[in-house]
């Protein structure tokens, strides 16, 4: 089940980060099931913020397989991330991952937090 979708630019950037990330590499060496964890945490000016990090898989996580890596989403975050598109932008107005959330009722000006 695909909870979120990744654009080509996001996939390319994630693969680039994986190549240089020591936490991810150490986890793989230790035979841990590692992946890119995308989640939602309380906070930010609109109520919820997005979180993205490399992490070990846990029981009950939702796992989405992409070529070269897995995306991990915990069950609670999956409610808020359904149908979200993750993109990567690199331009004059900033560089980073951008979340397009059709479920968000409000977003802050910086686009890093949202309300449902």
Measure the CA–CA gap between 102 and 116, rounded to whole angstroms.
10
- Going by the DSSP 8-state scheme, the letter that residue 47 receives in this structure is S
The answer to whether the beta carbons of residues 55 and 24 sit under 8 Å apart is no
User: How many domains in the chain?
Assistant: 1
Provide the residue-wise pLDDT of the chain in tens; the chain has 116 residues: 689 999 999 999 999 999 999 888 898 889 999 999 999 988 766 578 889 999 999 999 999 999 999 999 999 999 999 999 999 998 777 788 989 888 876 665 555 555 55
Q: Rounded to whole angstroms, what are the CA distances from 116 to 45, 63, 71, 87, 92?
A: 13, 24, 23, 21, 30
Q: For position 106, which CATH number holds?
A: 2.60.300.12
Host domain of residue 51: 4-115
């Amino acid at each position: 089940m695909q909870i979120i979708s990744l654009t080509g630019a996001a996939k390319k950037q994630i693969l680039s980060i994986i190549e240089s990330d020591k936490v991810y590499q150490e986890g793989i060496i230790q035979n841990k099931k590692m992946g890119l964890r995308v989640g939602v945490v309380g906070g930010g000016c609109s109520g919820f913020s997005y979180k993205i990090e490399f992490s070990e898989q846990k029981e009950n996580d939702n796992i989405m397989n992409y070529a070269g890596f897995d995306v991990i989403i915990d069950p609670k975050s999956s409610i808020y991330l359904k149908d979200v598109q993750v993109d990567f932008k690199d331009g004059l107005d900033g560089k980073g991952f951008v979340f397009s959330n059709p479920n968000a009722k409000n977003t802050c000006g910086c686009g890093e937090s949202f309300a449902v």
